A and B are shown apart, each in its own frame.
Chain A
Amino acid sequence: MAYAVSLETFEGPLDLLINLIQKNKIDICDIPIAEITNQYLLQIRSWQDMDMDVASEFIIMAARLLEIKAKALLPKTETEQEDAEDLQARLVRQLVEYKVFKEISRYFQSREQEELCAIYRDPEYIPQNAEAAPLVIDPYALEQCFKRLLFQKEEESEAIAPPQKIIRELFSIEEKIAEITEILVQAGDDGVSFSELLHPDISREEVVVTLLSLLEMVKTSGLRLLQNRVFIDFQIHREVEENEQ
């Protein structure tokens, strides 16, 4: 499959619309809705062609644009005319407002970048005179502090993921199959019931391995399982092949 990379990313449908408006060099208050709707839909389709999941917010905006476009095209009464204008005016208001906050976020980013270059020194560890300083702890502040520590820890450990815990395999299917085969050989024609394979203090894991082994044996070495009703014990027989007889 082709690996497609789109360099432009958008924070949401409003971001995409503003990008289109700027690309077309049009006034935000006087959007040619049909043209913008077409371009908006083209962008979404190109994402879909690239097998990208399009977030539902983008689809909702597409529906809004189409509604405005459709209302503008259809013949209408006066109140309907107002409705259509209202829809567009609401979208424009939203775009204008969002654009302002985009500017502010850019301003915050430049300030943040500058401040990242300031280095503060941590207080040196000085053994405190416990009696001198009254201990005033706000439980909420303590919780915040704890959360921050956890968050830092998480950020640190994101970089180097330690190996996951390795659980020792206590029972293997191969061993279990050998064990069951032996039991079946001893039992002869009578076969055994499933419950007979399970000793009293069996672990959950061993039960699972026993069942998996049985299923494996049914598939590979001809085993017959008989059950009269659902949810009851079942009988296990060896399907003795003719050349063995």
Chain B
Amino acid sequence: MNSDELAGVIEGILFGAGDGVSMSELCRCLDKPVAEVQFAMEILKQDYQSQARGIRLVQIKDTYQLSTKPEYYAYIKDITRQQEKTGLSRAALETLAIIAYRQPVTRLAVDDLRGVSSSSAIQRLLDRGLICDGGRLEAPGRPILYKTTNAFLKTMGLSSLKEMPEFEVFSQGKQESFDLELLKTKTQDSADSSEAVLAGMLEKTMGDARILEAAQ
């Protein structure tokens, strides 16, 4: 099976599963080594980046899933007739921001930072599964430490916590409001870098193929 074919099979698996599928499950189903599956996954990802595709590959930690492209939502929403989706409240977003950058963190620490009680916001985030119990702080009362979940990554369109901008990006913004363009170029960079990785990998396989050919 060549890499293109493998990419096709992966696409089939992801579409069939609907849910996220982990890399290890994919390797087991395909009976292929991780590197090979990853390479095919990269081909699939590149393919989806084309404007001719309405689907994108979502990666959360080591699981993969398909979703429609957000930029085409305006055209898709009519047919799905779903209720207008509402986002999190300001209180919940502030609380989530603190937990995301300070995790694991206690409710009290969040309250102190916000200057108001955050218990209802925390409950809301727990109910939505965006944060979870991440152990206890060894202090009087052994308060719960909260941390973010994979659902948080999915909600924010992040594949891992490392993908969050550095805290300094925000703290050095000082008086001016945060420049979103700056981040867009940053994600563009990461897209470029994945392209570079693919190019490198392609070169390597091409080289391998040439060596094979030469050997034959």
Contacts and interface: CB of A to CB of B under 8 A. Distances in A.
B171 A102 contact: no
B116 A12 contact: yes
Interface stretch (B5-13, B26-34, B44-52, B154-162): B154-162
**Considering residues A61, A118, A148, which has the most beta carbons from chain B within 10 angstroms of its beta carbon?**
A118
Given A101-B97, A120-B67, A121-B18, A115 B116 contact: no
Nearest to B76: A119
Given A12-B114, A100-B171, A112 B87 contact: yes
Interface stretch (A103-111, A181-189, A208-216): A103-111
B4 to A, nearest CB: 24
Kindly state the interface size class of chain B when it binds its partner.
35 or more
Given A28-B175, A115-B156, A13 B87 contact: no
Interface string A149-190: 001000000000000000000000000000000000000000
A155 B211 CA distance: 61
B122 interface: no
Nearest to B84: A116
Interface residues of A, number: 43
Interface stretch (B88-96, B138-146, B190-198, B199-207): B88-96
B94 A105 contact: yes
A119 B73 contact: yes
A244 interface: no
B94 A102 contact: yes
A18 to B, nearest CB: 10
A153 to B, nearest CB: 12
Interface string B141-181: 00000000000001111100000010100110101011010
Interface in A111-162: 111-124, 144, 147-148, 151
B18 A124 contact: yes
Contacts of B209: none
A170 B82 CA distance: 46
B142 to A, nearest CB: 18
B65 A120 contact: yes
B93 A109 contact: yes
Contacts of A121: 18, 66
A55 B111 CA distance: 14
Interface string A81-114: 0000000000000101110111111111111111
A144 B98 CA distance: 23
B67 A118 contact: yes
A20 interface: no
A105 B164 CA distance: 12
A67 interface: no
A11 interface: yes
Given A104-B170, A110-B180, A123-B19, A118 B113 contact: no
A108 B87 CA distance: 10
Nearest to B20: A120
B68 interface: yes
Given A12-B115, A100-B170, A105 B76 contact: no
Q: What 4 A-B pairs have minimum CB-CB distances, sorted nearest first? A: A123-B18, A117-B73, A12-B116, A117-B70
